[in-house]
């Protein structure tokens, strides 16, 4: 076993480095093509500042795929070149190389998981801020989440306000439109949510006909817009922008604001689950790579490794989608179900390798 560890580790590190370099290079080419027209509008220092945060975020995003590919490619090449048969002849157990590759990559997986809970979220948030403020990329969705003024479209109303908290807003203006024509204007200096309604102590209703003011009424009571399912709280932000220790608190704030907290609850469960999910995928890729027939070409090895990476991405995407539609309080199921699916896949690969030799 000692004779196996050093050469396998060297090969694995080389393949991982090359794979990650290829993925990052490909992403930079695509990203440069998409961002090129925006880059000419800003100073070079701003572009440098953007990629100071953007590059680590995408490196973190691509690292799991690189590790899965590295595990499959390394053992696939070893199986093709009879290195695994030679190690078995020296007394190594049939599953030992795959388990060893998984063990060698485990520290990298743990570091990847830790960085995704602390440092990467803050970089993600800073990247989004630069994209919006300097490049004007992010649109109304980012505006609603990060700017002090809310602007919502609730047909037939276009609503503008300034949030002061999850249940309190001020400077409320609602314009009722029909085919671009203003039919009514509702204004309130301040409003608070009570139960399912937004109550204002003073409301001004202005009614228009053919662009002319025909009636103006003052009253108090319920605003005719702002559905309680709409969040008007201060800058909640995207789930991936928050460190793990803040996610549950943000989910609580979103719930108070009448917003859907499932995305934040799911993210809190997903992060620890993603570490085990990646380890299981690496193990499965290593097992499948170990079954490559002797003398196989690189295309076959790459195809099998890419299949494992695609399965990882598909299962993770399935969990994210399930996290958006699953009933509240069940976010842990959505986060850990992909782990269960990959555990079955890894068990199948483990058993299949045992029957192959």
pLDDT of residue 138: 54
Percent of the residues in the chain that have a pLDDT greater than 90, as a whole number: 34
The set of residues, in sequence order, having a beta carbon less than 8 Å from that of 284 and lying 6+ positions away, is 308, 311, 342, 345, 346, 349
Q: Which residue range is the domain that position 114 belongs to? A: 2-131+257-356
Q: In the predicted model, what is the mean pLDDT of residues 42-59?
A: 87
Q: Are 186 and 203 spatial neighbours (Cβ–Cβ below 8 Å)?
A: yes
Output the DSSP codes for 21-56: HHHHHHHHHHHHHHHHHHHTTS-HHHHHHHHHHHHH
Is the pTM higher than 0.85? The answer reads: no
Q: In the predicted model, what is the mean pLDDT of residues 176-180?
A: 77
Residue 230 has pLDDT above 70, yes or no: no
pLDDT of residue 178: 79
Tell whether 169 and 83 lie within a shared domain: no
Q: What are the pLDDT digits (tens) for 186-198?
A: 999 998 877 667 8
Q: Which residue has the tokens 């039919």?
A: 183
Residue 139 has pLDDT above 60, yes or no: no
d(CA 109, CA 96): 19
d(CA 205, CA 218): 6
d(CA 52, CA 49): 5
Tell whether 271 and 166 lie within a shared domain: no
Residue 236 has pLDDT above 60, yes or no: no
Strand partners, 190: 170
pLDDT of residue 282: 96
Tell whether 50 and 105 lie within a shared domain: yes
Tell whether 93 and 152 lie within a shared domain: no
Q: What are the pLDDT digits (tens) for 262-320?
A: 888 999 999 999 999 999 999 999 999 888 888 888 899 999 999 999 999 999 999 98
In a domain, 32, yes or no: yes
In a domain, 227, yes or no: no
pLDDT of residue 220: 87
Q: Between 156 and 107, where is the model more confident?
A: 107
Q: How many domains does the chain have?
A: 2
pLDDT of residue 68: 96
Strand partners, 176: 157, 184
Q: Between 76 and 158, where is the model more confident?
A: 76
């Amino acid at each position: 076993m000692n004779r196996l560890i050093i050469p396998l580790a060297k090969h694995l590190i080389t393949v991982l480095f090359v794979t990650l370099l290829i993925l990052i290079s490909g992403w930079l080419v695509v990203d440069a093509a998409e961002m090129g027209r925006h880059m000419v509008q800003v100073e070079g220092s701003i572009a440098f500042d953007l990629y100071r945060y953007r590059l680590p975020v995408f490196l973190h995003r691509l690292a799991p795929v690189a590790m899965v590919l590295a595990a499959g490619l390394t053992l696939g090449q070893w199986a093709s070149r009879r290195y695994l048969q030679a190690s078995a002849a020296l007394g190594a157990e049939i599953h030992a190389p795959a388990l060893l590759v998984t063990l060698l990559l485990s520290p990298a997986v743990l570091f990847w998981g830790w960085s995704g809970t602390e440092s990467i979220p803050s970089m993600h948030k800073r990247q989004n801020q630069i994209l919006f403020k300097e490049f004007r990329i992010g649109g109304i969705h980012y505006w609603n989440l990060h700017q002090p003024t809310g602007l919502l479209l609730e047909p037939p109303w276009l609503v503008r306000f300034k949030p002061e908290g999850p249940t309190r807003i001020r400077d409320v203006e609602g314009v009722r439109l029909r085919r671009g024509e203003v039919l009514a204007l509702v204004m309130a200096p301040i409003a608070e949510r009570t139960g399912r309604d937004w109550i204002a102590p003073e409301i001004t209703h202005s009614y228009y006909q053919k662009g002319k003011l025909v009636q103006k009424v003052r009253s108090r009571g319920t605003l005719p817009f702002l559905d309680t399912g709409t969040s008007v709280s201060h800058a909640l932000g995207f789930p991936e922008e928050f460190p793990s220790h803040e996610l549950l608190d943000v989910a609580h704030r979103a719930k108070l604001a009448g917003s859907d907290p499932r995305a934040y609850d799911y993210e809190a469960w997903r992060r620890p689950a993603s570490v085990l999910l990646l380890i299981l995928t690496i193990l499965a890729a290593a097992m499948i790579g170990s079954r490559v027939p002797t003398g196989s070409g690189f295309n076959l090895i790459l195809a099998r490794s890419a299949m494992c990476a695609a399965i990882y991405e598909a299962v993770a995407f399935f969990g994210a989608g399930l996290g958006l539609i699953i009933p509240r309080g069940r976010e842990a199921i959505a986060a850990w179900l992909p782990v269960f699916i990959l555990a079955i896949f890894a068990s199948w690969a483990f058993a299949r390798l045992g029957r192959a030799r």
